[in-house]
Amino acid sequence: MAKKRNIGSIPGTIVYTGNVTGTQVSINYLEYNQNGYRAESALNNGEITIYPPIDEYIQWYDIRGLHDNDLMQKIVSSFKIHPLVIEDAVDIHQRPTYVEYLDGHFISLKSLEFNSEKSTVEKETVSIYFGNKFIITFQENEDDIFKVIRERIINKKGRVVAKGADYLAYIIVDYIVDNYFSVLDAVEEQVEELEESISLQSDDVDKLSIYKLKKNILKIRKSIAPLREAVNLFSRSDSKLIDSKTLTFIKDVYDHTIQIIDNADSLRDILSGLQDLYISEVSLQMNKVMQVLTIITAIFVPLSFLAGLYGMNFVNIPELRAQNGYYILIGIMVLIALSMIYFFKSRKWF
């Protein structure tokens, strides 16, 4: 995990806290309304082109990559953003939050993805800042995670082209929250696999898998839980930057957020049930092992003693001289063995 926090730095300082990868920051610009759109995509050459606001057009600046501090500084001054917005946007450890500033609203949340190869959940910090007729989105790396939304705008699907920046912000949050469901489904599938392998007492139960799944669920919960409060604030906003009709939609996202947390909690509970099951499986298996050990010991140790007894070299052991002594002893031994077996059968040990 990246741990380069900007501890001790001046508040409002723009310090990227993630790992700087080689890739360049890119800026993707889209302006649209019901009538048409214009898209510009540029690698960051140290400059950001600020397109003049056009009447009735929504301007969307999609910043991919957070490690260019100069660029961030320019964004702050161009859009007159409160310095804390950018400080929080470039802090990949930022907790999901919703803050209303004077000229714009800031939303920070986590985009989750399930890495099926490593069986881990990977998170990326996404921030949204929107004001009147413009929106800026920030994400850690160059993946085009909003491709679906952009295409929807370009193809004029849905209501988004007829609505303001607040609705686009809602669409983005909704899209990310919807994604949580597929991440949880993937984790749930793994829980179900684990359940099967434990209940079948199959031997390839990876002892670490319960722990790993727990960590995944914890990670998801930690990423989503604070969003509940954030989306709640968003859905109750009385800012004039947010259309009251949009609020109905945001309340729907709020409902989904709670549902996701419910599902995560439910998975966690199922998992801890599985852990209890696993532990009692281990105990039961130990019991079986002990029973085998005890049965064998209990049958053969007394018999061995008898054999040892008549292997002694005392000059005077009358039984040894009996013609049928050996056969009688064998008979006695069979009796002992049978009664032992009967004893264990009656205790249902096998």
Q: Of 296, 332, 334, 338, which lies in the binding site for its own copies, with binding defined by CB under 8 A?
A: 296
The helix/strand/coil state of 321 is helix
Is 273 a residue that touches its own copies (CB under 8 A)? Answer: yes
The yes or no reply on residue 232 touching its own copies (CB under 8 A) is: no
Per rule CB under 8 A, is residue 307 in the interface with its own copies?
A: yes
The string of DSSP codes covering 188-229 is: HHHHHHHHHHHHTT-TT--TTHHHHHHHHHHHHHHHHHHHHH
Q: Which stretch binds its own copies (CB under 8 A): 28-36, 46-54, 71-79, 285-293?
A: 285-293
Closest CB 88 distance from its own copies, rounded Å: 7
Q: Given the complex with its own copies, which of 240 and 312 has the nearer CB atom?
A: 312
Stretch that binds its own copies, among 29-37, 45-53, 136-144, 282-290 (CB under 8 A): 282-290
Q: Which residues contact 99 (CB under 8 A, 6 or more apart)?
A: 84, 85, 88, 105, 106
Stretch that binds its own copies, among 27-35, 36-44, 124-132, 296-304 (CB under 8 A): 296-304
CB of 40 to its own copies, least distance (A): 24
> And the tokens for 329?
């002893």
Does residue 80 touch its own copies according to CB under 8 A? no
167 and 241 Cβ atoms separated by less than 8 Å: no
Query: Is 73 a binder of its own copies (CB under 8 A)?
Result: no
Of residues 55, 63, 50, the one with CA closest to residue 33: 55
44 binding its own copies? (CB under 8 A): no
Q: Left (φ > 0), alpha (ψ -120 to 50) or beta: where does 80 sit?
A: left
Residue with tokens 């295409």: 151
Tokens of 245: 């009709």
Angle at 207 between CA 201 and CA 210, to 5 degrees: 95
Binders of its own copies among residues 176 to 195 (CB under 8 A) are: 178-179, 181-182, 185, 188
- Which residues 6+ apart lie within 8 Å of 69 measured at CB? 14, 15, 16, 90
Longest dimension (CA), the chain: 122
- Residue among 39 and 99 whose Cβ is closer to its own copies: 99
When asked if residue 310 is in the footprint of its own copies (CB under 8 A), the reply is yes
Contacting its own copies within 24-43 (CB under 8 A) = none
Q: With binding defined as CB under 8 A, does residue 280 bind its own copies?
A: yes
Assess 293 for contact with its own copies (CB under 8 A): yes
Helices assigned H by DSSP within the chain: 69-79, 83-89, 147-154, 165-199, 209-235, 244-309, 318-321, 325-346
* Binding status of residue 93 toward its own copies by CB under 8 A: yes
- Does residue number 144 form part of the binding site for its own copies (CB under 8 A)? no
User: Whole-angstrom Cα distance, residue 38 to residue 40?
Assistant: 7
Q: Which is nearer to its own copies, 23 or 239 (CB)?
A: 239
Is there binding between residue 335 and its own copies (CB under 8 A)? no
Considering the complex, what minimum distance in angstroms separates the CB of residue 180 from its own copies? Answer: 9
Per CB under 8 A, which region of 19-27, 44-52, 60-68, 245-253 contacts its own copies?
245-253
Instruction: Check residue 303 for interaction with its own copies (CB under 8 A).
Output: yes
Q: Interacting stretch for its own copies, rule CB under 8 A, among 49-57, 62-70, 116-124, 246-254? A: 246-254
d(CA 65, CA 265): 32
Which one of 18-26, 115-123, 125-133, 254-262 is the stretch in contact with its own copies (CB under 8 A)? 254-262
